[in-house]
Structure 1
Amino acid sequence: MKHLSAFSLPTVMVISILICLLILFTIDIFCFDNIYYSYYHQAQQQKEDINSAFVLYCNDSTLLKEVEEEGGYQLYEDNPQTSISIKAGKWGLYEYAEVRATDNHFSSIRLLGKVQDCNYEAALWVCSRDMPLSFSGKSEVKGSTYIPANGIKYVDLGSLSFEGKEIKDYYIDLSEKELPEVDRSYLYLMDKYLKETEVMPSFEDSGYKNYYSFSDEEMHYYIPNGIREFSMKGHVILHGDEVNLSSKTILSDVILLARRVTIDEGFCGSLQIIATDTVILNKNAHLRYPSGIYLKGNNDRTFLRMDENSTLNGYAIIFGTTENNTENHVEENFRQASNAVFNGLLYVDGIAHLQGYCYGGAYFKECYYLASDKAYPTTICNAEIYRNNQIGFPFFFEQSGYRRKEIKTLN
């Protein structure tokens, strides 16, 4: 008879326990992997549901009212986990919306514009006067072009001849004596933000943060004259009198209210400027999309200038006047240099001197070519104007439809 060692039984028991533990560990890993996969799948599905909610909100004008009345919205009737809430608010001439899953696990805040600027969807609109619209130099228009009843002329201006392309007949339609109607609630944009705060601490003295989330209340700060280098992002409204933005200033998504704003060479940022007097984009200054400039005040003697190689992506809306001009002196409200680039909605209720590149939609009360020795009324020279429907337009015109376009995700 074979005898076993006294140590054999404990050894077998230890090995058996280790094997059981290994099996249990393997099962736990498998279960954890399944739980992780289930959570990942649920998270991805909720993100897709949020994307679906934004698509629905951008196309259904009744959705927000229904959400407010019902306290939420269920995307799919047979799945309560697809319940979401929506909040929206104006941000300058754009809009931001927050979609949140009702279990609060996931949410997204996005900046929105309009799909249409207005029903005309013009590449160029010049109000009707008792003279034709003239083009000279290397000028070209592609897209719906609304012109005075007196028609179009392609002319030489002194030694400067017309070297562009004539506008195709199917692009041409007649304009009216007035610009397309605007939503009057936006005529008082400056007043809106001034009324929302009584105390504006200087950001130098307040221990401000560099970033404020759009899920929190908007913040207001005052910028003293002479401050040229600072950083601010998010749900912030900056106030000042005469503000200079240097190449070392970092701004993203903010709103700036001031009398006069000068943007120095090398600046690159995105913001909406609401000013009452003057905005100057010096050469090689760049306002990234989505940016904007809104000028109203100063007895309509407002002025926006875009210098060489500057860019503005978003909108420029200037309320000026055509009444301060004489035969020998013209006060323009907008001037763009010959190689500056504008992309978006350009609206000048006054006098525009347009050169360079303009993509989007340009609407002018009057346009002049201001040569060094003479002013040519109702004339555009050395400007290439193309309709662009790919951007999100600002909320501005009365007849622009409901449909929204996503511009960017905000944190």
Structure 2
Amino acid sequence: MIKAHSLLYSIYICLLVSIVCGALLFFSNLYNQLNLYYNLQEELYFHNQSLVNFALESRDTLPILDPEEKTGIKGSYETKPYGILNLLLVQSKTNKDTIQSAHLIGLHTKNKTALFLTNFSKSVSYTGLVKLIGDNALPSSHIETAHITNKTNDLYIEGKNSVSENQLPKINPNFKKIFYNTQTDKTNLSDVDKPKDSLYFNSFFNATKEVYLNSIVANMIFKGNFILRSKDSLHIKKNTVLEDVILIAPKITFESGFKGSVQAFASERIELEQNVILNYPSVVCIYNETVDESRIKIKKECKITGAIVLFGNTNEMIDKNCMEIDENTLLFGDIYCTGKLFLKGKVHGSVFTNRVFYKTESASYNNTISDIEINAKKRPTYFISIPIFDSKNVSHGIIKKVL
């Protein structure tokens, strides 16, 4: 005879077993769902990466592809300009999920030029320690010695030397377009979504926001798809964070100690105070086609990875358009100057200029260089330069992933 309490125990045990079995089935189903989810995420990721590689080869915008038979993933991409750079936007999606990626892309450089100095003035001379590593195109194959200071003169050249032409290679026409064609959503800062912790962010999959600012930019963080513009000047304080944004104003100044990555475009003046660091890919550019003066001034201890460009003036206006780069500065990239260039730092890349000059406290000497190093070989073959020239039949590569 079964006692009542034994039957009750059996019911409890059966209930407990059913709960445990139900829990096991639930967790097994949950594990399977998570496994399917992560497998899909992995497939979306690999699909997106494959589409990026395909886009770098084809370069043209691709409409939405038919979904793959096994995974049902649809893919699409487009390219569009962002400043002087190109932006690659890639999407891989299913009915339930989407993976997006955005990349700044450019061209692999094959340029081995160290110094290109146009041939419509006297031959170049040097004083102090000068290193030119790479191919050089100069007004004359002979570099004269100038006895200006009491320093020992030492010239080190490695590469081919040739006589230059009487004009610089033509600059990429997209530089000029930046100053005229900007298809953006123009707005005031007060109309931009209220930031959290002073952070303004705009995805590269959104329309570019063009924000008008007052002269002084301080205690703000701008990241992503922004053009910051002023009708007069922009003074960027060191406590400002700028990442992958574009600056446009007649005058732009970066306070000593600033760090960021920007494309800065001006018509009159750009100045980098001491110890400014502009990370890759950054551009410092002036376009001046007027009779007024323009100037790029880069002070001591600055580091720039990208390009420094001054263009637009005629040959008659060379002396009114000046680029000055002080000692202990480092540029990893290229210089293009249709005016005159005073260079005291190091360039790991190429220099193209109409004229160089050297100045002391009491005098200035045209087509003279002193205590500089221009080394095209320190720019590795995998480095993707800012597209100063409109190159064709050159492979594309990713400069930076921005999303």
| TM-score, scaled relative to structure 2 | 0.87
For residues 44-69 of structure 1, what are the alpha-carbon distances to aligned partners after superposition, in whole Å with 9 as ceiling and x for unaligned? 232122122222222334xx25x24x
Question: Does structure 1 residue 110 correspond to structure 2 residue 110?
Answer: no
Match of 1:89 in 2: 80
Q: Return the offset for 1:337.
A: 0.4
Residue 278 of structure 1, CA deviation:
0.3
* Alignment of structure 1 residues 361-376 onto 2, 5 Å: 361-376=350-365
Query: Hey, what's the Cα distance between the residues in 2 that align with 1:342 and 1:50?
Result: 34
**CA 56–134 in structure 1, closer or farther in 2 if over 3 Å, else same:** farther
Structure 1 match to 2:208: 218
Higher mean C-alpha displacement, 45-54 vs 131-140: 131-140
Question: Where do residues 155-170 of structure 1 align in structure 2 (5 Å cutoff)?
Answer: 155-164=146-155, 166-168=156-158, 170=159
Q: Structure 1 321/312 Cα, relative in aligned 2: closer, same or farther at 3 Å?
A: farther
Q: What residue number does 1:259 align with?
A: 250
**Amino acid in the other structure paired with 1:41:** N
Q: Name the SS of the counterpart of 1:376 in structure 2.
A: strand
Q: Tell me which amino acid in the other structure corresponds to 1:292.
A: V
Who is 2:161 aligned against? 172
Aligned mate of 1:350, from 339, 344, 350: 339
1:358, 1:73 → 2: CA distance? Answer: 48
- Pick aligned residue for 1:141 from 132, 146, 150: 132
- SS of residue paired to 1:39: helix
Change (3 A) 1:42 1:300: farther
User: 1:295 matched to which residue of 2?
Assistant: 286
Deviation readout 1:109-133 (Å, 9 max, x if unpaired)? 11222222xx544233222345433
AA matched with 2:42 = Q
Q: Report the alpha carbon displacement of residue 232 of structure 1 after superposing the two structures with TM.
A: 2.1
The Cα of 1:341 is off from its aligned counterpart by 1.6
Three-state SS of the structure 1 residue aligned to 2:154 is coil
With over 3 angstroms needed to count, the CA separation of the structure-2 counterparts of 1:397 and 1:179, relative to structure 1, is same
Alignment of 1:5-404 (within 5 A): 5-61=3-59, 64-65=60-61, 67-68=62-63, 71-72=64-65, 79=70, 81-103=72-94, 104-116=97-109, 120-129=111-120, 131-164=122-155, 166-168=156-158, 170-193=159-182, 196=183, 200-204=186-190, 209=195, 210-226=200-216, 228-240=218-230, 241-297=232-288, 298-299=290-291, 301-319=293-311, 320-324=313-317, 330-331=319-320, 333-387=322-376, 388-389=379-380, 390-404=382-396
Going from structure 1 to structure 2, the CA distance change for 1:81 and 1:346 (only over 3 Å counts) comes to farther
Q: Which of 211-220 and 312-321 deviates more?
A: 312-321
CA distance in 2, matches of 1:237, 1:344: 23
Asked if structure 2 preserves the Cα contact closer than 8 Å seen for 1:133 and 1:150, the reply is: no
Alpha-carbon distance between aligned partners in 1 of 2:138 and 2:70, rounded to the nearest angstrom: 54
Q: Which amino acid letter does the alignment assign opposite residue 2 of structure 2?
A: L
Gaps spanning 5+ residues in structure 1: where?
A: none
Question: 1:43 deviation in Å?
Answer: 1.0
Change (3 A) 1:360 1:59: farther
Q: Secondary structure at the match of 1:369?
A: strand
CA shift for structure 1 position 262: 1.3
Q: Distance in 2 between matches of 1:133 and 1:81?
A: 64
Q: CA deviation at 1:399?
A: 2.6
Distance in 2 (CA, whole Å) between partners of 1:344 and 1:33 is 51
Indicate how the Cα distance of structure 1 residues 78 and 243 shifts in structure 2: closer, same or farther if over 3 A, else same: same
Q: Distance in 2 between matches of 1:177 and 1:152?
A: 18
Per the alignment, do residues 205 and 40 of structure 1 end up closer, same or farther by CA in structure 2, a change over 3 Å counting?
A: closer
Cα RMSD between the aligned structures?
2.6
Q: Which ranges in structure 2 are unaligned for 5 or more consecutive residues?
A: none
Distance 1:378 1:363 in 2: 13
Cα distance between partner residues in 2 of 1:295 and 1:26: 68
Q: Cα–Cα, structure 1 residues 227 and 47, in superposed 2: closer, same or farther, change >3 Å?
A: closer
Please tell me the residue identity of whatever aligns with 2:355: E
Distance 1:151 1:398, change over 3 A: farther
Matched pairs, number: 391
Displacement of 1:335 after TM fit?
0.6
Asked if structure 1 preserves the Cα contact closer than 8 Å seen for 2:133 and 2:375, the reply is: yes
Q: TM-score normalized by structure 1?
A: 0.86
**Separation in 2 of the partners of 1:143 and 1:361?**
9
In the alignment, the residues of structure 2 paired with residue 300 and residue 49 of structure 1 have an alpha-carbon distance, to the nearest angstrom, of 53
* Aligned equivalents of 1:205, 1:47: Cα separation in 2: 35
SS of the aligned residue for 2:387 comes to coil
1:205 Cα offset (Å): 6.5
More off after superposition, 204-213 vs 131-140:
204-213
Are 2:397 and 1:405 aligned?
Answer: yes
- Report if aligned partners of 1:60, 1:403 keep a CA contact under 8 Å in 2: no
Secondary structure of 1:333's aligned partner = strand
Deviates more, 1:359-368 or 1:182-191: 182-191
